[in-house]
Amino acid sequence: MTLNDAAEAAFAEGLQAVESGQLPVALEKFTSACALNPDEAKYRGYRAWTQYYARQPDEDAQNRASINEECFRQLEEAVSACPEYDPIHVLLGTVLVSENRCHDAIAAFNQALKINPSNNAAKLGLKAARRKLERSNDTASTIEERISNRPASSPDSTPSENLSSNATSSRTGNVFSTARLRAQINELRIARQKELSQYQAKEKSQAEQIATIQKQHSEYVAELQQEIQKLSTDKSEAEAKYLDVRTTLDEEKRTRGASF
């Protein structure tokens, strides 16, 4: 097995790990693929995408921000290196949605669909980006309305109450962020499974067509063999009749000769 073959095998294992939701395993496999074939941009793109989502609960916020920035840069480089590889545009689009850059995400998903109109992951991502953009616009309008109608702050409110409220909002935001991540991963998994099912159905259809052609070929060969056998039998019968006639004629000649 060559290094390129080994890299492709590691990449395939990484895709399987993503489909099963095992992001740390996927990150390890994509990293191995990059090490075996550093020139393949799609390996780097998938590694960056996986690293973006494979977050640790106790990870330092500043360190995570730095990692996210590097992941995003590598994804953009992968898109530039593989502009006709539609899955890379989908990966970039999902990260852009997570970064609340819905307009850019919509552009990325549209580019993926321009390359491959049947890319189901891009279709799902495009719907998710549009829904999030609509919710964001609705939320912004609601906030503006509430600010304009908000009464003066109550003097009875205390800093501890405000702190408790902020902490609750933070926890809620983390829950929603995790839910969005799981939803995106699930959508990608469903899209991949659908593509795999379509591919398997296509393979099955091709196998059935091949089986039909082979059956027709066997029937045709059998018919030819029957025709050959029939011709051979007819030839044998004709030769036998010819010999009988020839023998009869020879006997008649001998009989006539004897009479004279």
| Residue 100 backbone zone (phi > 0: left; psi -120 to 50: alpha; other: beta) | left
Q: 3-class DSSP state for residue 244?
A: helix
Q: Is residue 211 a part of any domain in this protein?
A: no
Count CB-CB contacts under 10 A for residue 74. Answer: 19
Range of the domain at 19: 1-62
Q: Is residue 31 part of a domain?
A: yes
Asked if residue 48 is part of any domain, the answer here is yes
> What does pLDDT average to over the chain?
79
Which residue is it, tokens 């609601």?
142
Q: Cα torsion for 200, 202, 207, 212, to the nearest 10°? A: 150
Q: Looking up tokens 């503006």, which residue turns up?
A: 144
State the pTM of this model. Answer: 0.53
For residue 163, the model assigns a pLDDT of 42
- The CA distance from 193 to 187, in Å, is 10
122, 116 Cβ separation under 8 angstroms = yes
Overall number of domains in the chain: 1
- Structural domain contains residue 116: no
Per-residue pLDDT at 221: 79
What does the CA dihedral 140, 174, 18, 88 come to, rounded to 10 degrees?
Answer: 30
Question: Rounded distance, CA 89 to CA 76, Å?
Answer: 9
pLDDT for residue 205: 78
Residue 155 inside a domain? The answer is no
Positions of the chain with pLDDT lower than 50, given as ranges: 152-177
Q: At what angle do helices 102-115 and 86-98 cross, to 10 degrees?
A: 170
In this structure, is residue 192 part of a structural domain?
A: no
Task: In whole angstroms, give the CA distance from residue 90 to residue 175.
Answer: 24
In a domain? residue 260: no
Q: What is the pLDDT of residue 182?
A: 58
Q: Extract the tokens encoding 175.
A: 């829950």
119-152: per-residue pLDDT in tens?
999 999 999 999 988 887 765 555 555 555 555 4
254 inside domain? no
